[in-house]
Amino acid sequence: MKPRDRLRIAVQKSGRLADTSQELLAKCGLKFRQSRDKLFCFGESLAIDLLLVRDDDIPGLIAQGVCDLGIVGRNVLRERQLAAQEDGDAPASRELRALGFGRCRLAIAVPQDMRYASPSDLAGLRIATSYPASLAAWLRVQGVEAGIVELSGSVEIAPRLGTADVICDLVSSGATLVANQLREVASLFDSEAVIAAAIDTPPDERGELLEMLLRRLDGVLQVRESKLVLLQAPRDALDSIARLLPTGPRPTVTPIEGSSDEVALQAVCYGAITWQHLEDMKRRGASNLLVLPVEKMLA
């Protein structure tokens, strides 16, 4: 493989993760110029390029060293790692960060009218899936012997076609299952988009670029969950009100012009503020509550 000095990230070309993956990289300050074939995006702001590919190809591209990083579902990464393990190979990629989007789960679903009480009811059945290694590992743990029918797509119609009895597939909203008269009975694991990387960090400038990208990403991920809370309250109620807020840096308290005992509180919170939070704070004496999104943060 020719040595590279630019970091290369594989992202899904089209599909569930495609848009959000590119938006996330844009929030990290990455700008790209797309090539004519729309497969390669040259990084204009930093020495970081994108390769737009099928999500299932991403772990392989990382393993071969064609790409240094990838944004891919944990389900795809895990399947590849388990398959390598079955073949007696060392893992070639690892998960660096969970990204909080593309949430779904790998689940067993059975026809609506099939009796199911526990995994042992799957014994002797044929299970259609695109995730044979993940399914085999789960069946082993459950101590259940069943047939695995590997399909690359349209898994959900297998029971109706008679090519399998039940399925093991990704479930997100559950709409696909409902449309195919299937019901979810067990979940193998939860998945979401993750940053995947080769086991070893490149020992050159790419390694430094990778570290920088992760630092920016951590900032973006933290900001996404963060809120600025503004409120007014009697000074002696502040402690009990502040205790209700999710954690964050020490809040700022300022006096209010013309009021001797009311103060204003300004707090950055790392976490969601629900209506329940607001009502609880109001009950303890807070007023004029405002919750604002945070755009950028540098501690």
Site membership for ligand PRP, residue 14 (CB under 6 A): no
Shortest Å distance, C-beta 158 to Zn ion = 17
Site for ligand PRP in 36-95 (CB under 6 A): 55
Alpha-carbon dihedral sign for residues 116, 119, 125, 130: positive
Three-state secondary structure call for residue 161: helix
Site membership for ligand PRP, residue 266 (CB under 6 A): no
* Closer residue to ligand PRP, CB minimum distance, 130 or 226: 130
Site membership for ligand PRP, residue 3 (CB under 6 A): no
Give the residue from 131, 136, 166, 123 showing the smallest Cα distance to 150. Answer: 131
Total site size for ligand PRP, rule CB under 6 A:
13
Identify the DSSP state of 122: G
* Closer residue to ligand PRP, CB minimum distance, 120 or 172: 172
Site membership for ligand PRP, residue 16 (CB under 6 A): yes
- The interface region with Zn ion, picked from 47-55, 131-139, 142-150, 260-268 by CB under 5 A, is 47-55
Q: At what angle do helices 132-142 and 74-86 cross, to 10 degrees?
A: 70
What tokens were used for 13?
A: 């070309």
Q: What's the per-residue H, E or C state across 131-190? A: CHHHHHHHHHHHCCCCEEEECCCCHHHHHHHCCCCEEEEEECCCHHHHHCCEEEEEEEEE
Site membership for ligand PRP, residue 153 (CB under 6 A): yes
Site membership for Zn ion, residue 60 (CB under 5 A): no
Site for ligand PRP in 170-199 (CB under 6 A): 170-176
Residues forming contacts to ligand PRP in the complex (CB under 6 A) are 15-16, 55, 153, 156, 169-176
